[in-house]
Amino acid sequence: MVKKKNYTALKARLSLFGLLFCVVFIALGLTVMPNIKINADLYYFYIPESTAPSVIADTLKKRGFIRSRLSFAAMAAIKNNQEIGPGMYELENDWSNLELLSHFETHEPKQTIFITLPEAQSRKSLVGALCSGLVVHPDDVFKLLNDEMFIAGFGALTKESVYCIFLPRNYRIYKDVSAERLLKRLYQEYQLFWNAKRLKKARQMHLTPSEVQILASIVYAETKLPEEMPRVAGVYVNRLQRSMRLESDPTLVFAAGKIKAKRVFFKDKQVESPYNTYKYKGLPPGPICTPPSWVIDKVLEFEGHDYLYFCASPELSGKHLFAETFDEHLKNAQKYRKKMDERNVF
């Protein structure tokens, strides 16, 4: 009888302990356990008008930047946070619900401006567009882009490949942002773009994220037809895997500074530049333009085939003719040159 009472008491204590453990675990989950998950130092989250915490939680969950929307909404209810005020908020990775809500409560909104970063070949026009409407001067941005110590904070990027952080898209920026904070903001967006899914595809190509973007810049300069991009990318992947020179005309145009040139000639192939892919094997050190995000995705989905060459179609339709052998390529190229000569295009 005594043993039965002891067993009952032990069972009761264990149940109580289990209950207390659950309470503590839930409390930790609601307050101090990390709930924000982003693959960047900061995530800029803009709220246009006063919004209920549950809606904020849904938005963050949809974007994949919060682990548990339920725990955040529950914590907001416990703290009686009925709405989050408008403004742009800087969210840090691994913040807890408590830290996130405290940030929403104490944040002092600053004036922001909406800018559009365009597709561009000229780095001067690119930086000029970035600074348009902001307090920061383009010269201050270029100074940092040429500062190796500053660029060292951007992982494996170099003074040439750092231009990969310029992703054409819309950005909401603090109007009084400094040049340093502006570039760091672009780098954080670059980190967010390179999510686990894209990183996996890049590794399967045996390329780094910046190398994929450099390749995408060449593909985008070669063709504006979405249906052709994976095939063109496949040609360059094949050449890279065979240690062949890429021999891309758009890289010559970039190296020679002849952005508006419609044709390249033998003399252009002699220009001394690391961007001259007729002289040097491998990818150039940086992008030759700023391809849109969807072009990068087209390159990540490159087409597997045996083509090693391509040239513009003599129909001048924007399409290309692809070839597996050099002899076949020469025949295609001759047809194109003949058509260009007939039209006196130089």
Confidence of residue 27 (pLDDT cuts 50, 70, 90): very low
Q: Two tokens at 23?
A: 């309470």
Identify whether residues 244 and 216 lie together within a single domain.
yes
Longest dimension (CA), the chain: 110
Residue 334, pLDDT score: 87
- 8 located within any domain: no
Please, what's the b/e burial string for 279-318 (b: 16 or more CB within 10 A of its CB; e: otherwise)?
A: bbeebbebbbbbbeeebbbbbbebeeeebbbbbbebeeee
20: helix, coil or strand? Answer: helix
Identify whether residues 102 and 118 lie together within a single domain.
no
Identify whether residues 244 and 300 lie together within a single domain.
yes
Encode pLDDT of 86-96 as tens digits. Answer: 999 999 999 99
- Terminal-to-terminal C-alpha distance of the chain: 105
Identify whether residues 219 and 297 lie together within a single domain.
yes
Cα–Cα–Cα angle for 338, 344, 345, rounded to 5 degrees: 90
Identify whether residues 63 and 144 lie together within a single domain.
no
Range of the domain at 157: 112-193
Residue 209, pLDDT score: 97
- 13 located within any domain: no
Confidence of residue 16 (pLDDT cuts 50, 70, 90): very low
Q: Say whether pLDDT at 101 is over 80.
A: yes
Q: Which among 50, 72, 106 is the end of a domain?
A: 106
Confidence of residue 61 (pLDDT cuts 50, 70, 90): very high
- 120 located within any domain: yes
Q: Say whether pLDDT at 18 is over 60.
A: no
Identify whether residues 230 and 325 lie together within a single domain.
yes
Residue 29, pLDDT score: 46
- 16 located within any domain: no
Domain count, the chain: 3
Identify whether residues 314 and 237 lie together within a single domain.
yes
Identify whether residues 168 and 139 lie together within a single domain.
yes
Give the distance, in angstroms, between the CA of residue 14 and the centroid of all CA atoms in the same chain.
Answer: 51
Residue 258, pLDDT score: 72
Residue 25, pLDDT score: 40
Identify whether residues 49 and 142 lie together within a single domain.
no
